[in-house]
A and B are shown apart, each in its own frame.
Chain A
Amino acid sequence: MDPKRAKQSPDSAEAIRLSPFPDEALDRILALLDSHKDRSSASLVSKAWYHAERWSRSCVFIGNCYSVSPEILVHRFPNIRRVILKGKPRFSDFNLVPQNWGADIHSWLLVFADHYPFLEELRLKRMTVSDQSLEFLALKFHNFKSLSLLSCDGFSTDGLAAIATHCRNLTELDIQENGIDDISGKWLNCFPDNFTSLEVLNFASLTSEVNFDSLERLVARCNSLKILKVNQSITLDQLQRLLVRAPRLMELGSGSFLQDLTPQQYTDLETAFRGCRNLQTLSGLSEASSLYLPALYPACANLTFLNLSYAALQSEELAKLLAHCPLLRRLWVLDTVEDKGLEAVGQNCSLLEELRVFPEHPFDQEIDHGVTESGFLAVSYGCRKLSYVLYFCRQMTNAAVATIVQNCPDFTHFRLCIMNPGQPDYLTNEPMDEAFGAVVKNCPKLQRLAVSGLLTDLTFEYIGTYAKNLETLSVAFAGSSDWGMQCVLEGCPKLRKLEIRDCPFGNKALLSGLEKYESMRSLWMSACKVTMNGCKLLAREMPRLNVEVMEDEESNEGQAYKVYVYRSVAGPRRDAPPFVLTL
């Protein structure tokens, strides 16, 4: 129905008969849209569409909590049930952001309490969350169902106790990799006896021992439990008892896999795993050894994601395990498996799409083993569908990377970390420019890139010329001059996140992106050559950007040691700590 026709003759009976309330149809159709990008596009079509979209939106994703304020959010979207918020810059994971920087959820919760009383879901990443906030959340939002905290800090297990005690309709409690004050495991006892709605429980990253009886009873009465990831205090025989209670699990994170089992206990464990026919994801397995790994094999037939980053497996153990995982699409391992283990990956996992190899001893120089370019090559020959890689190694060559990306042209995420900063191709002693040149030339779908090794501006020329779909770029100890950064800013139209540390990029590079930064989520530069004057100029020219400089004991006179630039419709932060200067 053409809205124009309805406008031209609004009062005529004929028009009313012919026009079937386009607004209502629009509302119904837009309500079916899930993708944030689609909804954004729809909201730009016209005022009618903008309003229809904002009334029908129930889930909102905010990639930078300071890009908008809670007041602006609730004003535009009155009916939100699910909120996804990300806070601190990613380099805060590596201690580059001091404590008390901000990204506190509390101010958001206060506004939500007034405007979103029916809030159901909160997914936070790199936010500061206090116990007080968790208690507020548990008490004020009676419909609250789903809490996911990833890389957050500021709370303790007392906060979790409040959630367990008061959230009667909780379906998800997902606590991952947080800077949490782990006082005790008593929070688990706080789920009421008549509480049965839990579907997701992940407390793998907590260390305190939980009461096993409480956990067993909880698992037994929550019939819809699909995801269970326990911590290392849970032993193998305890795990067996849990599996017997929850055979329909789709994702399992085990506790410690090291225990002296009697033959009967081992058989029981194997039987329990055999009963888990729906398992798609498996993790945990700390201290797993060849002794008990075979108990797992019956559960691996449908496995698509295997996370072995806590299990220091040797190459043979991995090879034997992988032989039972024909459908594997994602694999995370420690470099204890070495190149030989990765050869087994190449031989067994033809459907593999994602591989992450973490170093067991990242800071130890006396380690000669680990993985090298050979392992990566072996995987690329066997796993042609590889699209996501995160690879920590101590040596790499340009030739190897060139071959790898010829074997696997579908890379969307290529994150290579040669652990010694500024290390060249170990065979030719040349910079690693050609390696990353090959990546961007051969992989047109590349969205995310992390570079390492000895790199000159040539790497960045390549990136600017070829990486037309690049959205996220991470750079450390690389580049020769401002020109490198300029190439990227001028050449990558879809760039959203740029994070740089310890590179010789200065004001000229910073200011070359003047008009670019408003189309990006954020820019991070630390230990570069940018000065306060350069940042002040940027702030002056681009008033809709927040230009923040973090004071640091290490900065020289006039140097801007840590710079964080991001677009915002909320103006400068009102909660900045004393060491954050907003220019």
Chain B
Amino acid sequence: MDTSSPSSPSSSIDSNHNPPSSPSSSSFSSICLSSNHYLSSGRSTSAMRTRRGLSTDLSLCLSTSSSHQSQRRSSWPPLKPLLKSATVGRSAEEEWQHGSASGLFVKVYMEGIPIGRKLDLLSHGGYDDLALTLAHMFKTTILCGKRNKAPSDKYYVLTYQDREGDWMMVGDVPWEIFTSTVKRLKITRADRC
């Protein structure tokens, strides 16, 4: 487990986190379908939903421009965007309250692949976003919380380890609560769940 947390913004840029290159369109449409389905399953109306509609502009997901990032920043805990920059001259919108300039990087492992990836949860607006990024990263279909597909080795599901050390299915709790309890992600085969 990675126990060192970045204390200065410059060290938070993780070399493993490479924005994905152009994805194949087929994996895209399957992600859109699956994530749409889980979103429409009955949930309490007070649950926080993802901020992406189906007509997600691919470039938004890939873009690292600061204006998009500032729109998808987390709204909890309630902290104003104050400035802390180790390097003078960085765009004000890239800065955030103190340590949050370091984002929320969690490790992601795919079953069967020993080398993991890291991604910044906070640069995602919700589960939809996350599913899209993971699809690019691992070039496969990943389901978040969808259950009525017959388990088979063709599908992967996304799980996470929470603060208590338990492994849970991603997608059950509101996004805000998820980001506050998640420690790491794992992509496992659907038939294992």
Contact = CB atoms under 8 A, between A and B. Distances in A.
B154 to A, nearest CB: 30
Interface string B34-53: 00000000001111111111
Nearest to A502: B46
A233 B7 CA distance: 20
A422 B78 contact: no
B2 interface: yes
A556 B85 contact: no
A207 B77 contact: no
User: Chain A interface mostly helix, strand, loop or mixed?
Assistant: loop
B82 A363 contact: no
B74 A363 contact: yes
A106 to B, nearest CB: 22
A14 interface: no
Q: Which of A95, A364, A365, A528 has the most chain B CB within a 10 Å cutoff?
A: A365
Given A95-B73, A367-B5, A207 B89 contact: yes
A359 B98 contact: yes
Interface string B92-111: 11010111101110000000
Contacts of A179: 70, 81, 92-93
Interface residues of B, number: 55
Contact of A94 (B52, B75, B99): B75
B88 interface: yes
Contact of B183 (A93, A358, A366, A392): A366
A363 B88 contact: no
Contacts of B44: 504
B100 A363 contact: yes
A334 B77 CA distance: 15
Interface in B1-36: 1-3, 5, 7
Contacts of A556: 45
Contacts of A94: 75-76, 78-80
A30 interface: no
Contact of A207 (B90, B163, B174): B90
A476 B78 contact: yes
A334 B45 contact: no
A98 to B, nearest CB: 8
B92 to A, nearest CB: 5
B66 to A, nearest CB: 11
A571 interface: no
Q: Which of B73, B81, B95 has the most chain A CB within a 10 Å cutoff?
A: B81
B179 interface: yes
A530 to B, nearest CB: 9
B87 to A, nearest CB: 9
Interface string A282-322: 00001100000000000000000000011010000000000
A209 B80 contact: no
Contacts of A180: 92
Contact of B88 (A181, A233, A360, A476): A233
B177 interface: yes
B60 interface: no
B59 interface: no
B64 interface: no
B91 interface: yes
A279 B82 CA distance: 24
A451 to B, nearest CB: 12
A477 B46 CA distance: 9
Interface stretch (A378-386, A401-409, A413-421): A413-421
Interface in A494-521: 502-504
Closest 6 pairs (CB-CB, A-B) = A361-B99, A554-B49, A94-B75, A363-B104, A233-B88, A182-B92
15 contacts: A93-B80, A95-B70, A96-B75, A207-B95, A232-B85, A233-B88, A360-B99, A366-B2, A366-B5, A367-B5, A417-B78, A420-B181, A476-B76, A502-B174, A553-B49
Given A207-B91, A476-B76, 7 more contacts: A151-B80, A182-B91, A209-B88, A309-B98, A359-B98, A365-B180, A554-B49
